[in-house]
Amino acid sequence: MTLVALEQVTKTYGTPGAADARTVLEGADLSIAAGAMEAIVGPSGCGKSTALNLLGALDVPSAGRVLFQGQDLAGLDPAALAAFRSRHVGFIFQDHHLLPQCTVRENVLLPTLAGGGRADAAAIERADTLLGRVGLGDRATDWPHHLSGGERQRVAVVRALINRPELVLADEPTGALDERTADELATLLIDLNRAEGTTLVVVTHQKELAARMERVHTVHDGRFQAA
């Protein structure tokens, strides 16, 4: 079963036809099966982050459709899209966007607070378990600005996983990490894919990480090709 798909998607930034218009994807098709682990690779600027943003409904295509479980996301208004994202999608961004005024644990728990209020005990336990898995078990009450870049990136990974999203979209999740930490983080993502059925789409320049995925797509001339 297909979890999420881009169907004949074109994405143009700027005003179509204007001098500053830039078409990044053009008639692109991509289909991600439920429970799959797939990588998107390609040179800088080819449209990898653009594709992730479309898959996760953070942006809309200029033409074509984005289907989640067969449903066209274009039918949802902004509030419904936000609810869709918080229920189904975990993003690991290229820039990790931690809130400086919140501790590590509070950052991780933010997605569980969609309706306001306090995190429940089960969420706190999952936060601490996952922080332990990424080697930050003793940093839960520390502040983001006390953490290294790679540590902050690991916190962002845990935050993306906290709500057990069906779809995890990871943009260079191991970019700022040394080889061993990168390897451990990839193992965590792969373990969650196996244990919880999380579908994983990862953008990466790192061959080791791409090689651990089941399929690799390359973006070439605005389309996806099997690598």
Ligand X SMILES: Nc1ncnc2c1ncn2[C@@H]1O[C@H](COP(=O)(O)OP(=O)(O)OP(=O)(O)O)[C@@H](O)[C@H]1O
Which residues of this chain interact with ligand X, rule CB under 6 A?
A: 13-14, 22, 24, 44-50, 94
For the bound state, the minimum distance from the C-beta of residue 104 to ligand X, rounded and expressed in Å, comes to 26
Paired tokens of 174: 């191991």
Using CB under 5 A as the binding rule, whether residue 49 contacts Mg ion is answered as yes
**How many residues are given for the chain?**
227
Instruction: For the sheet with 215-220, list strands across it.
Output: 89-92, 167-171, 199-203, 37-41, 215-220, 223-226
Q: Which does 44 bind (CB under 5 to 8 A by kind): Mg ion, ligand X, none?
A: ligand X
Spatial distance between the Cα atoms of 227 and 220, rounded to a whole number of angstroms: 10
CA distances (Å), origin 181, targets 72, 102, 193: 38, 24, 19
Q: What is the residue-wise DSSP string for 156-169? A: HHHHHHTT--SEEE
For the bound state, the minimum distance from the C-beta of residue 171 to ligand X, rounded and expressed in Å, comes to 7
Query: CB-wise, 127 or 160, nearer to ligand X?
Result: 160
Q: Which does 47 bind (CB under 5 to 8 A by kind): ligand X, Mg ion, none?
A: ligand X
Using CB under 5 A as the binding rule, whether residue 204 contacts Mg ion is answered as no
Query: CB-wise, 3 or 219, nearer to ligand X?
Result: 219
Query: CB-wise, 158 or 170, nearer to Mg ion?
Result: 170
Q: Which residues lie near Mg ion (CB under 5 A)?
A: 49
